[in-house]
């Protein structure tokens, strides 16, 4: 199948209750193959979207938003906004309007985006949730995950929550070559990953703060090859970006956003919090690659405890849990086996061949009762990358 859309083709979805999202569900581990899945429409707006992938043999692309890429009758695609009608008029004030939610539980998915394809704004929030406690579903294999869109400007925030993920190549808190006008929050609770980035892939501006939190509390241990607070070849500045008379971020000859390098600080500095994990190869406060510079002062906090994986419940109706608390099978609060304190290879306050124009801070076991197991070295600076300001490494309270 070529494509599935929650919205219409060149026709806005305008329900009587404007707080009603489109809903797309895919379930077929052995016999469903789709090239594109969109929560939104094709060159058409919708108020909000929800996409649920319970299983699929193979899906190339999943978007929480719509398709603003392909030409329409030989003309430029007008875009596929979520929460905004033609002319930028809002669908209203409902709590779901202007939001997307993508949940992927099983199947082989090559690319997952919380936002739209090429053109289509999401003014409130784009959320991506991967994995589930129920591992009896078909295995979840995902190549790349982006909280925002593919080359599509987004004014809302993006957030990714990863639960039980057997294996995932790369994950980005931001977008692929697109601007985001909001904060990025990336939360990892379980799974195995090759590379994790708080920022964008290749290009695009993030007009907001970046926060990455690693806390092992899902159904699988956390194992990460490389962890970055910044982007992959994509720059970032806490001072903002140069814009044209319409407020659009300017690009250089290579398609990168033109950064402001000083002045008023508009966003909080990037923060990377490591609470618990089984294994992390290398940690970088900055980004990867010479073009992934950061104008700001990234901070790494490694205050670790032993991680845990979820336990199992045997629910007998009419009984309660210890302490005379009624057991709710839909809200698990039992934490299973406690794991050993995780290990980290190397820690760099700066980037990996990516400069930081600012200060770097690395805090290791600075909180009471917290610890860290670092096998190799801790560097205040970067790996083959300059830090223009001060570097500060604090070990212990």
pLDDT per residue rounded down to tens, the chain (397 residues): 999 999 999 999 999 999 999 999 999 888 899 999 999 999 999 999 999 999 999 999 999 999 999 888 788 899 999 999 988 899 999 999 999 999 999 899 999 999 999 999 999 999 999 887 555 568 888 888 998 888 888 888 888 887 777 767 888 988 888 888 889 988 888 888 999 999 999 899 999 999 999 998 877 889 999 999 999 999 999 999 999 998 889 999 998 999 999 999 999 999 999 999 999 999 999 999 999 999 999 999 999 998 877 654 444 444 444 444 444 444 444 455 677 899 999 999 999 999 999 999 999 999 999 999 999 999 999 999 999 999 999 999 8
Instruction: Please provide residue 93's backbone torsions phi and psi, each rounded to the nearest 5 degrees.
Output: -115, 10
Q: Is residue 3 part of a domain?
A: yes
340 within a domain of the structure (yes/no): yes
Does residue 69 share a domain with residue 202?
no
Statement to judge: residues 188 and 53 lie in one domain:
no
Pairing, β 191-197 against β 236-237: unpaired
Shared domain for 205 and 68, answered yes or no, is no
Chain centroid offset of residue 195 CA: 12
- Characterise 366 by phi-psi region: left (phi > 0), alpha (psi -120 to 50), beta (else): alpha
Q: Which domain holds residue 229?
A: 184-311+336-396
- Does residue 164 lie in a domain region? no
Give the SS3 label for residue 394.
strand
Q: Is 175 a member of any domain?
A: no
Query: In terms of domains, do 289 and 391 share one?
Result: yes
Characterise 263 by phi-psi region: left (phi > 0), alpha (psi -120 to 50), beta (else). Answer: left
Same structural domain for residues 129 and 198? no
Q: In sequence order, what E strands does 229-379 have? A: 236-237, 271-276, 279-284, 294-295, 299-302, 308-310, 320-321, 325-326, 335-338, 343-348, 356-357, 360-364, 378-379
The token pair at 317 is 């109706």
Q: Which two tokens stand for residue 235?
A: 């720059």
Residue 379 lies in a domain: yes
Q: Which two tokens stand for residue 322?
A: 């210890």
Q: What integer pLDDT is reported at residue 115 of this predicted model?
A: 93
Number of domains composing the chain = 2
In a domain, 162, yes or no: no
């Amino acid at each position: 199948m070529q494509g599935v859309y929650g919205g219409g083709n060149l026709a806005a979805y305008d329900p009587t209750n404007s707080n009603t999202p489109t809903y797309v569900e895919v379930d077929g581990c052995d016999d469903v193959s789709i090239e594109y899945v969109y929560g939104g429409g094709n060159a058409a707006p919708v108020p909000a979207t929800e996409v649920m992938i319970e299983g699929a043999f193979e899906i190339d692309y999943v978007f929480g938003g719509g398709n603003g890429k392909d030409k329409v009758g030989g003309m430029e695609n007008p875009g596929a906004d979520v929460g905004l009608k033609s002319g930028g008029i809002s669908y209203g004030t409902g709590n779901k309007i202007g939001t997307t939610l993508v949940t992927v539980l099983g199947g082989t998915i090559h690319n997952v985006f919380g936002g739209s394809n090429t053109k289509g704004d999401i003014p409130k929030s784009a959320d991506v949730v991967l994995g589930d406690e129920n591992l009896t579903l078909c295995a979840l294999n995902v190549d790349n995950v982006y909280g925002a869109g593919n080359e599509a400007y987004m004014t809302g925030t993006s957030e990714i929550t990863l639960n039980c993920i057997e294996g995932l190549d790369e994950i980005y808190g931001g977008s692929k070559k697109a601007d985001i006008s909001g904060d990025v929050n990336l939360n990892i609770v379980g799974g195995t990953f090759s590379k994790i980035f708080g920022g964008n892939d290749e290009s695009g501006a993030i007009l907001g703060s970046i926060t990455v939190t690693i806390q092992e509390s899902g159904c699988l241990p956390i194992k990460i090859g490389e962890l970055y607070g910044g982007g992959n070849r994509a720059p970032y500045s806490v001072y903002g970006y140069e814009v044209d008379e319409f407020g659009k971020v300017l690009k250089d000859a290579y398609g990168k956003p033109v950064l402001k390098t000083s002045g008023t600080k508009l966003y909080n500095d990037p923060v990377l919090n490591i609470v618990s994990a089984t294994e992390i190869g290398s940690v970088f406060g900055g980004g990867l690659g010479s073009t992934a510079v950061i104008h700001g002062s990234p901070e790494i906090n490694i205050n670790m405890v032993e991680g845990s994986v979820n336990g199992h419940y045997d629910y007998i109706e009419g009984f309660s849990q210890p302490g005379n608390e009624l057991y709710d099978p839909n809200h698990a609060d039992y934490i299973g086996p406690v794991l050993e304190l995780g290990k980290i290879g190397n820690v760099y306050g700066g980037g990996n061949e990516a400069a930081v124009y600012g200060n770097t801070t690395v805090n290791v076991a600075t909180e009471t009762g917290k610890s860290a197991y670092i096998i190799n070295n801790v560097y205040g600076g970067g790996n083959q990358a300059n830090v223009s300001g001060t570097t500060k490494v604090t070990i212990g309270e």
